[in-house]
Amino acid sequence: MNYIFSIGRYFLMIKGTFKKMTKRRVLWNLIFQEVNDLVIKSLGIIIFISFFIGAVVTIQTALNLTNPLIPRELIGFAARQSIILEFAPTFVSVIMAGKVGSFITSSIGTMRVTEQIDALEVMGINSLNYLVFPKIIAMLFYPFAIAIAMFVGIGGAYLAGVYGGFLEADEFLNGLTDDFTPFHIFYAFFKTFIFAFLLATIPAYHGYYMKGGALEVGKASTTSFVWTSVVIIIANYIITQLLLS
């Protein structure tokens, strides 16, 4: 019953987020700040992770292609499919559940502990719209970060494959372009938008409704990371089953 209550309150929170909008000028300032905090400041870790994921995928694929009858172009093909379909949108999003999710939960949770949220309500401001709505809008730019992750990941795969001596540059590029399906790009970015919404709202829920003091802020951040990761993985399965099966 507790899970049902939490799910219901989560959807009521989302509904309340779009009611009684804050002044547009104030919202724009908040949105720009959230874009900087949630997306731009995450680019460093996204680029770092994506580069080495691409490199590892290439090395692992190359080391397992021991049959001489299998063309080495398959290394580039496998790297492209792995990075675009799963590693960039899903794996990076799980990492962001730790970085972005913890930041959102701790920042909102701290405002709850220090009664700043109560002060907003006393002033007649819809605290959900003021705190959560800018984060949702800011995370709409998250797919641009995933696009960078795809590019960097494939770059890392190319460097690891070619300069690691596993295959020639033209072989990698042939595999990279072989049997390309544009729908896979749509699939990757579609689920990225879903993940972006989850990354903004689930941690916000745990921060907004937390109770206790400073110690509970840390516990709420851990809980939000776990549940955001779980929901992202489940959503990934459902979206894959619906769009690719």
Confidence tier at 202 by pLDDT (50, 70, 90): very high
- pTM as predicted: 0.91
| Alpha carbon distance 57, 155 (integer Å) | 12
Evaluate if residue 122 carries a pLDDT over 70: yes
Share of the chain above pLDDT 70, in %: 100
Give the model confidence (pLDDT) of 40-87 as tens digits.
999 999 999 999 999 998 988 888 877 777 788 888 888 888 999 988
| Alpha carbon distance 43, 96 (integer Å) | 10
* Predicted local distance difference test score (pLDDT) of residue 72: 82
Q: What is 192-205 written as a DSSP string?
A: HHHHHHHHHHHHHH
Q: Number of structural domains, the chain?
A: 1
Owning domain of residue 190:
2-244
Higher pLDDT, 204 or 180: 204
* Predicted local distance difference test score (pLDDT) of residue 66: 72
